[in-house]
Amino acid sequence: MREYLLTLCVTAAVTYLLTGPVRKFAIAAGAAPPVRARDVHREPTPRLGGIAMFFGLCAGLLVAAQLTNIGKSFTLSDEPRALLSGAGLIWLIGVLDDKWGVDALVKLGGQMIAAGVMVLQGLTILWLPVPGVGNVALTPLQGTLLTVAVVVITINAVNFVDGLDGLAAGMVCIAATAFFMYAYRMWYGYGFEGASPATLFAAVLMGMCLGFLPHNMHPARIFMGDSGSMLIGLVLAAGAVSITGQVDPDLLAENAGSERGAVHMSLPLYMPLMLPLTIIAVPFIDLVLAIVRRTWNGRSPFAADRGHLHHRLLEIGHSHSRAVLIMYFWAALIAFGAVAFSVQSSSLVIVLTIVLLSAVGLVVLLLPRFTPRVPRWAYALVPPRYRRRQRMHSAAQAPAEGEPEDAREPALAGLHGATALGAREESGNSRSVESRR
């Protein structure tokens, strides 16, 4: 675990430290396009944040290659090199798109080529666990097609959800954390060396996102752009493909007691690859809805619009920060719920917890104007806006003793707005009428 933590910290540190210089470079290079009609930010913001994330990926893999235990992933498998090759290609396409713009079909072709490069170097799906059937071996053609499909779908799902400050990086970080927990359990809990590359990919991905998030939280100082969103989407897909293609199903069945038990134990393995895609469930749902919506309206599936889930959250009244937190919540609930269910599927507590949290999430989703009352002892734990509203409410409910009625009107105006203002205008009009009489 210490080696994975070191790799994560190095990746995060390099990404964080390089993001500032990359921002200045992006401004100097003119990679700060004007605000479009579908954008939610108000000022032109530089892109190319994926440059810092890519160098963070390289630094993390370089450090991992020198470590004792994680270094075995580089000697026993070519998957880290395959990931680096595909990541370099997809990152280059993203940089060109952030600066000059690339046609959607050209980007799609580049994504397929990047996935093909990884397949040629051994990063492919060899078998697929099917519930109730067992592990089904795939032919080379089937494995190649399925691997390319998983990579392309994941890249575009992450790219589509990248619409609010900190949204894509946070959601991918949550998915990578859940995936790391499962892969680490497979590697050190059951002794499957084939899960080592996937564990490394998840740790590096967490570092990339955590290092970039401080610069990307609302209000964002820099965007990751396609160079970042497609990159982290590819790394996330590579982890799922790696653990599915390398974990021996016979050894898994031996530990689980039966082949069907092995399939159940590997729940998070086939769920990222088949519907529903739990690790990237929220971005995937957004991707499907966007394609259906645009095709139904007679538009290209790659034509951008303001119909994504995060845009709808803003339209019903949620603030920018609350919309991001709601998306974080659902991503974490689905990803960690799938991992917990794979560990203890017979536990009623897990099912009830997921149901309860889902109910809480629906309540928060349907109450965009709800502001919780914060006790005084928790003031230090909440943002300032909640403390200000609490003080205003207290001032309106408990005026000073002996205070005249007119002196309480400003406080009431701050609490009720138009109601108190209308009362003052009405009283002023009545006094002016009496004076004229």
Known binding-site positions: 159, 226
| Rounded Cα gap, residues 329 and 395, in angstroms | 34
Q: How many Å separate Cα 240 from the centre of its chain?
A: 16
Q: How many CB atoms lie within 10 A of CB 404?
A: 8
Backbone angles phi, psi at 134, to 5 degrees: 125, -165
Q: Which residues contact 219 (CB under 8 A, 6 or more apart)?
A: 41, 165
Length of the chain in residues, anyone? 437
Per-residue tokens: 413: 């105006």
Of 351, 357, 308, 299, the C-alpha closest to 331 is 357
Half-sphere exposure of 321 (CA within 13 A, CB side): 6
| Rounded Cα gap, residues 430 and 373, in angstroms | 37
| Rounded Cα gap, residues 33 and 144, in angstroms | 37
Binding-site entries for Mg(2+): 159, 226
Segment (H or E) for 105: helix 104-120
Burial of 164 (0-12, 13-18, 19+ CB in 10 A): buried
Burial of 294 (0-12, 13-18, 19+ CB in 10 A): middle
Q: At what angle do helices 281-296 and 140-161 cross, to 10 degrees?
A: 80
User: Can you tell me which residue has the tokens 């970039």?
Assistant: 212
Of 110, 50, 82, 335, the C-alpha closest to 198 is 82
Alpha helical stretches, state H, 121-195:
140-161, 167-184
- 253 DSSP β-pair partners: none
Q: Which residues contact 16 (CB under 8 A, 6 or more apart)?
A: 52, 211, 212, 214, 215
Per-residue tokens: 328: 């974080």
Q: Is the peptide bond before 276 cis (omega within 30 degrees of 0)?
A: yes
Per-residue tokens: 141: 């053609």
Q: How many Å separate Cα 324 from the centre of its chain?
A: 9
Of 243, 235, 199, the C-alpha closest to 88 is 235
